[in-house]
Amino acid sequence: MLLIADVPETDQPALQALLPEAILTSDPLTAETAPRYSAARAVCIFVSSCLSAEVMAQLPHLELIVTRSVGYDHIDLSAARARGITVCHIPEYGSYVIAEHVFALLLSLVRHIREGDTRVEAGQFAWQGLQGMALRGKTLGVVGTGNIGLQVCRIASLGFQMRVLAYDVSPQQEKSKAYHFTYAERLEELYPQCDVLSLHVPLLPATGHMINAQTLQQMKRGVILINTARGGLIDTPSLVAALRSGQVGGAGLDVLEHEANLAEERALIAFPQVITTPHIAFYADDSLHQLYEQSARLLHQWQHGQAPDYQVQGV
315 pLDDT tier (thresholds 50, 70, 90): low
From CA 94, how far away is CA 173, in angstroms rounded? Answer: 22
Under DSSP, the state recorded for 27 is S
* 68 neighbors 299 (Cβ within 8 angstroms): no
Residue 46: which region, alpha, beta or left (left: phi > 0; alpha: psi -120 to 50)?
A: beta
CA atoms within 13 Å, Cβ hemisphere of 50: 8
Encoded amino acid at 231, one letter: G
15 CB-near residues (< 8 Å, 6+ apart): 4, 7, 22, 24, 292, 295, 296
Q: Tell which phi-psi region holds residue 24, choosing left (phi > 0), alpha (psi between -120 and 50) or beta.
A: beta
Mean pLDDT of 29-33: 95
Res 314: pLDDT:
67
Q: 209 with 233: CB under 8 angstroms?
A: yes
Is 275's pLDDT higher than 80?
A: yes
Q: What percent of the chain has pLDDT over 70?
A: 99
Amino acid at 242: A
Contacts for 78-85 with beta carbons within 8 Å, 24 or more apart? 78/53, 79/52, 79/53, 80/51, 80/56, 80/315, 81/314, 81/315, 83/56, 85/56, 85/315
The pLDDT assigned to 203 comes to 94
The per-residue pLDDT for range 12-23, each reduced to its tens digit, is: 999 999 999 999
Distance CA 110, CA 307 (A): 47
Pairing, β 86-88 against β 64-67: parallel
Task: Give the mean model confidence (pLDDT) for residues 56-80.
Answer: 96
- Catalytic positions, written as ranges: 230, 259, 279
Domains of the chain listed by start with CATH number: 2-93+284-303 (3.40.50.720), 95-276 (3.40.50.720)
Q: In which band, very low, low, confident or very high, does the pLDDT at 286 lie, cut at 50, 70 and 90?
A: very high
Distance CA 186, CA 167 (A): 7
pLDDT per residue over 120-135, tens digit each?
999 999 999 999 999 9
CA distances from 279 to 1, 195, 202, 227, 255 (A): 29, 24, 15, 10, 5
Give, as one character, the DSSP assignment of residue 213.
Answer: H
Provide, rounded to the nearest whole percent, the portion of the chain with pLDDT above 90.
98
Nearest to 66 by CA among 314, 291, 306, 304: 291
Q: For residues 41 and 63, give the distance between their C-alpha atoms in angstroms, rounded to a whole number.
A: 5
Sheet strands side by side (includes 223-227): 182-183, 163-167, 139-143, 196-199, 223-227, 248-253, 274-276
Query: Radius of gyration of the chain from Cα atoms?
Result: 21
pLDDT at 313: 79
Name the residue among 15, 149, 181 with its Cα closest to residue 70. Answer: 149
pLDDT class of 260 with cuts at 50, 70, 90: confident
Query: By C-alpha distance, which of 300, 306, 312 is closest to 2?
Result: 300
Mean pLDDT, all residues of the chain:
96
> Sorting pLDDT into bands at 50, 70 and 90, what band is 278?
very high
Give the pLDDT of residue 42: 98
Mean pLDDT of 81-86: 96
Average pLDDT over residues 186-212: 97
Taking the CA atoms of 31, 36, 41 and 44 in sequence, report the sign of the dihedral they define: negative
pLDDT tens readout for residues 226-258: 999 999 999 999 999 999 999 999 999 999 999
